[in-house]
Amino acid sequence: MRKEQFEDFMNAHFKRIYHYLLTLLGNDHDANDVVQMVFISFYEHIDRVEEPTALAYVYRIAYNKSMTFLKQKNRFVQVEPSTFDRYADKNVPQSEPDHSILHAAIRELPPRLASVIQLQYFEKLSYKEMSEQLGISVKAVESLLVRAKKQLRKKMLKDRREGRV
């Protein structure tokens, strides 16, 4: 295809490509941005495109550009600045959270489960160190931790539902 044919081609197919992009992107502003990128890319490679396959080529460019656009767009979090007012300022000293409910729930666990929670989260031991201290395998430590966390979560949720938290 020749560059002289570009303007006629674009005028003939602009709306089709725009509506295709609108269905892919779901947003008028984004579709306008991407349709421009599509035709710029098409113009840059117009020498390599044969006239009978030009429309299919543009649709392929449109699809690829829209997928790239969506991937890049998803990398950014779109949040209104006013929502940050709800987050605590890390520079302002915070009062220590009340962990008494958590400690009470841990005390209610069977001793073996409570001990792995204590060693993991309060004494900061690795699985290997815990296995050596308890005289059990690393796999057994993992299993105990899973069971302890499950029971602890269940207990905390039950207390929350009953209004004790």
Domain 3-73 identical in fold to domain 100-161: no
CB neighbour class for 3 (10 Å; exposed up to 12, middle 13-18, buried from 19)? exposed
Q: Which range (31-35, 60-64, 87-91, 117-121) has the least confidence? A: 87-91
**Triad 10, 11, 14: Cα angle to 5°:** 65
Q: What is the pLDDT of residue 118?
A: 87
Please say whether the beta carbons of 155 and 105 come within 8 A: yes
Between residues 93 and 44, the one the model is more confident about = 44
Give every CB contact of residue 105 below 8 A, 6+ residues apart in sequence: 152, 155, 156, 159
The mean predicted confidence, pLDDT, of the chain is 86
Q: Is 19's pLDDT higher than 80?
A: yes
Q: Where is 53: in which H helix or E strand?
A: none
pLDDT band at 79 (very low <50, low <70, confident <90, very high): low
- Can you list the positions of beta strands (E) in the chain? none
Architecture of domain 3-73: Orthogonal Bundle (1.10)
| Closest to 145 (Cα-Cα) out of 123, 110, 114, 107 | 114
Class of domain 100-161: mainly alpha
Q: What is the pLDDT of residue 134?
A: 85
Q: Where are the domains of the chain?
A: 3-73, 100-161
pLDDT band at 29 (very low <50, low <70, confident <90, very high): very high
The pTM (predicted TM-score) of the whole model is 0.47
How far apart, in whole angstroms, are the C-alpha atoms of residue 42 and residue 58? 7
